[in-house]
Amino acid sequence: MTERLWTFAAGAAGPWRITGVRAVSGQALPEAPRLDRIAGDAAGGGLWSLRGITSNERYVNRDEKQALAALSPPLGRAQACCAVLIPIRKSAAWWALAQDERRAIMEEQSQHIAHGLRVLPAVARRLHHCRDLSADEPFDFLTWFEFAPEHEAAFDHLLDLLRASPEWAYVEREFELRARLDLGPEN
């Protein structure tokens, strides 16, 4: 069975060395030396952990779906030694909107998908949903990105565009964690 539930565990163990954390909006999470992305419900032991499930897409149209399928690289590429974990919670006002209203804000007003497609295939991404796991998950989404060091500037530019967009007016908590894979002495 393909695993849909994933745990991000921060603590002493894990392949990813955390290089920086920052609360973009709302409360921060404690600093930790390392991060692991573990299949299944693997909470416990570390400083903090977050869980989310991968799911079907909600908003993409046919053309976007095909473009994403054609351009999206897999996670775990050898050269993609930089990762960013961005947990996000959106406001009650966002969740009170209808599906078509949310789509309009996300794409017609904010071009989230169009801007995002421009950094593919350099950036690999995975969206995890938290809302349906339990009533008290601290975030709605866990977004995870992997890329090679030379693509960090393009990724940062995308972050600037998204955070300045109308969609982000509905983001009430956002945390940013950057990490590196230690590949060997030359890194």
Measured in whole angstroms, how far is the alpha carbon of residue 127 from the centre of its chain? 6
d(CA 119, CA 114): 10
Q: How far is the CB of 186 from ligand HEM (least distance, A)?
A: 27
Residues 76-135 that bind ligand HEM (CB under 6 A): 86, 88, 90, 112-113, 116-117, 119-120, 123, 125, 127
Which listed range, 1-9, 13-21, 29-37, 157-165, lies at the site for ligand HEM (CB under 6 A)? 157-165
> Given candidates 53, 75, 162, 181, which one binds ligand HEM under the rule CB under 6 A?
162
* Residue closer to ligand HEM, measured from CB, 5 or 11: 5
d(CA 144, CA 107): 20
Q: How far is the CB of 116 from ligand HEM (least distance, A)?
A: 2
* Residue closer to ligand HEM, measured from CB, 36 or 143: 143
The contact set with ligand HEM (CB under 6 A) reads: 57-60, 68, 86, 88, 90, 112-113, 116-117, 119-120, 123, 125, 127, 141, 143, 145, 158-159, 162
